[in-house]
A = this chain, B = another copy of it.
């Protein structure tokens, strides 16, 4: 588990007892009481600030509480800015943090508020602050759900090659079927919803994924027959990504049920729970 190891290695780098290292441990770790409190406060702050971004977008609410939102937004921006500067200050390898995924997210989370003063017309950018949500994953990743999330992420990652090949095939199939539908419904029946190929492909994807908005639907008999065929194909293949992930998770489960005994002779791990002798050197376990 690379994640856990990386976590440990970085923890060791900041073992010192000076203020910087102590703050680092509060901010970046999550197993001391101080760190847990910090994580909790941070998550609440992120939660509130994201809710404000959402409420601001509702015109009626924004009208009534514009001043309140502005004040709260500035408080959070200043808090997050302080946090960002402290993070840069305490971390050993500053550039690695700044250009890391979370470092960039931390910066993007505070920039839009400042930009609204410097430049006018950047109000739309405010919405970018919703990306603060991504910061929650950092806390989550280190917290008590690390094992669970890790497990899932690994299963998804190793299924990804298969799933992406599959999704590529699905896209190719929907392109061909969508075009056929464009001919049948758009060209022949002059159905507005299928007036061009990209739109027909959009419909085919909405259909094959079983979303089925119903904003575009076939009206001719031929179109409905073709739609039925597409639906049945979708029905037959929706099983595939599920099958991939499940088989992957199953294999992982089986591996987890392996045993944590270490061979005293050669140090091999990963023995079968029923094994009596080391499979690598033949010593009794």
Q: Determine which of B168, B182, B240, B282 lies in contact with A284 in the assembled complex, contact meaning CB atoms within 8 Å.
A: B282
Q: Indicate whether A224 sits within 8 Å of B199 (C-beta atoms), given known contacts A166-B152, A276-B279.
A: yes
Asked whether, in the complex, the Cβ of B197 is within 8 Å of the Cβ of A53, the reply is yes
The 10 residue pairs across chains A and B that have the minimum distance between CB atoms: A277-B282, A275-B279, A211-B212, A213-B214, A243-B245, A269-B274, A57-B197, A214-B214, A247-B249, A239-B242
Enumerate chain B residues within 8 angstroms of A282, measured Cβ to Cβ.
Answer: 276-278, 282-284
Asked whether, in the complex, the Cβ of A243 is within 8 Å of the Cβ of B249, the reply is yes
Contact with B along A250-280 (1 / 0, CB 8 A): 1111000100000000111111111111111
Asked whether, in the complex, the Cβ of A162 is within 8 Å of the Cβ of B151, the reply is yes
A231 to B201, CA, bound (A): 13
- Whether a CB of chain B sits under 8 angstroms from the CB of A70 is no
Query: Which residues, 101 to 146 on A, are CB-close (under 8 Å) to B?
Result: 124, 127, 130-131, 133-134, 136-137, 140, 145
> Which stretch, A2-10, A90-98, A169-177, touches the partner chain B?
A169-177
Enumerate chain B residues within 8 angstroms of A182, measured Cβ to Cβ.
Answer: 57, 127
Enumerate chain B residues within 8 angstroms of A232, measured Cβ to Cβ.
Answer: 167, 171, 205, 209
A211 to B235, CA, bound (A): 10
Asked whether, in the complex, the Cβ of B235 is within 8 Å of the Cβ of A167, the reply is yes
- The residue on B at minimum CB distance from A58 is B196
Q: Indicate whether A250 sits within 8 Å of B246 (C-beta atoms), given known contacts A54-B198, A130-B175, A272-B279.
A: yes
List 16 A–B pairs whose Cβ atoms lie within 8 Å, in order of A's numbering.
A133-B175, A137-B172, A149-B169, A167-B235, A209-B210, A209-B235, A210-B210, A211-B211, A215-B217, A235-B241, A239-B244, A247-B250, A269-B273, A274-B280, A275-B279, A282-B283
